[in-house]
Amino acid sequence: MHQTGSSRIILKTMQFTDISGQAWQVECMGCAIADSTVTPPAGGIIAANDSCYLHQDPEAPLEGFLVIGTNRHVESIMDLRRDEYDDLPSLCRYGRQLMDLTPEIRSVTLIQEERSSHFHLWLFPWYGWMMAARAARVIYETSQRPHRFTVSEENGSGIPSSR
Q: Quick one: which of 84, 80, 82, 110 has its CA closest to 95? A: 110
Q: Which is nearer to Zn ion, 55 or 118 (CB)?
A: 118
The residue (of 74 and 123) whose beta carbon lies closer to Zn ion is: 74
Of the pair 55, 73, the CB lying nearest Zn ion is at 73
Query: Cβ closer to Zn ion: 31 or 105?
Result: 31
Give me the DSSP letters along 99-146: HTTSTTEEEEEEEE--SSSS-EEEEEEEEHHHHHHHHHHHHHHHHHS-
> What is the binding site for Zn ion (CB under 5 A)?
28, 30-31, 73, 118
> Please, are residues 67 and 99 in contact by the beta-carbon 8 Å criterion?
no
Query: Are 66 and 95 in contact, with CB atoms under 8 Å apart?
Result: yes
Least distance from Zn ion to the Cβ atom of residue 83, Å: 18
What is the Cα 53 distance to its own chain's centre? 14
Handedness of CA 123, 129, 135, 137 (dihedral sign): negative
